[in-house]
Chain A
Amino acid sequence: DAKTTQPNSMESNEEEPVHLPCNHSTISGTDYIHWYRQLPSQGPEYVIHGLTSNVNNRMASLAIAEDRKSSTLILHRATLRDAAVYYCILRDVGGNMLTFGGGTRLMVKP
């Protein structure tokens, strides 16, 4: 399975934008890029996913590099409730399971 690399932790100030990077240099043409986040004492929560084009939804934006070897999850205005572990995951178009790495722990300061 193609692997992803994320920083272990990041800090942000409340109400500022946050850019969470993910490297996936061995991504294949059929891999979707998925992002999940996990708040304390909860199960992971789906955030967003994309294949080639940038994607926006009510939670976040996903910016995908032209060569698809990296992507960035963008939280436009961080709140204290966004403090969580964020996982970047590659999922093959024909695959089913998600393979989680260590993720990035985002800390939001008031």
Chain B
Amino acid sequence: GAGVSQSPRYKVAKRGQDVALRCDPISGHVSLFWYQQALGQGPEFLTYFQNEAQLDKSGLPSDRFFAERPEGSVSTLKIQRTQQEDSAVYLCASSPTGTNYGYTFGSGTRLTVV
């Protein structure tokens, strides 16, 4: 497709439930990023993939958060045993390799944990 696609657009989870958020990057984009954005704040880095390799996961807030990109294209962010503080918008971005390119972000998944 023309842009980065994220699904679902909205997700309501009960506390303790596991959730999986999907990101379809732009075809051919090597780099893929996940960000978390709390209400009224700027996005915060979670993790980074180059093709299928997860090169940086320093931003994942706890071991309940797990991300994968097994074939170097679609990526899934999984959150186990969700808690209220996990409520946020989760953004995915992709880019070609190299610093001379901007990132293309998806519209995000708004997760609400009740």
CA distance A102 to B41 in the complex (A): 6
Contact residues in A for B105 (Cβ distance below 8 Å): 43-45
Residue of B nearest to A34 (CB): B102
Flag whether B108 is at the interface (Cβ < 8 A): yes
- The yes or no answer to B42 lying at the interface (CB within 8 A) is yes
Given contacts A43-B93, A102-B41, whether A97 and B33 have CB atoms under 8 Å apart is yes
Are B45's CB and A43's CB within 8 A? no
Given contacts A32-B99, A96-B31, contact A43 B91 (CB under 8 A): yes
Asked if B43 and A44 make an inter-chain contact with CB atoms under 8 angstroms apart, the answer reads yes
With an 8 A cutoff between CB atoms, is A7 at the interface? no
In this complex, the interface size class of chain A, counting residues with CB under 8 Å from chain B, is 20 to 34
Give the Cβ gap from B29 to chain A, nearest Cβ, in Å.
13
Chain B residue at minimal CB-CB distance from A95: B99
Expressed in whole angstroms, the minimum distance between the Cβ of B62 and any Cβ of chain A is 19
Residues of B within 8 A of A93 (CB): 99
Interface residues of B in 29-62 (CB under 8 A from A): 31, 33, 35, 41-45, 48, 50, 55-56, 59
**Contact of A101 with B99 at beta-carbon distance under 8 Å, contacts A42-B107, A43-B106, A96-B48 already known:** no
Interface size class for chain B? 20 to 34
Q: Chain B residues near A96: list those with CB within 8 A.
A: 31, 33, 48, 50, 55-56
Task: Select which of A41, A42, A98 is within 8 A of B103 by beta carbon.
Answer: A98
Given A43-B108, A44-B105, A46-B102, is A103 in contact with B42 using a C-beta cutoff of 8 Å?
A: yes
Q: Which residue of A lies closest to B31 (CB)?
A: A96
Interface status of B7 (Cβ within 8 A of chain A): no
Residues 22-53 of chain A: 1 if any B CB is under 8 Å from the residue's CB, otherwise 0? 00000000001010100001111111010000
Q: Nearest chain-B residue to A49 (Cβ)? A: B102
Residue ID in chain A nearest B102 by CB atoms: A46
Whole-angstrom distance between the Cβ of B69 and the nearest chain A Cβ? 14
For A9, list chain B residues within 8 Å (CB): none
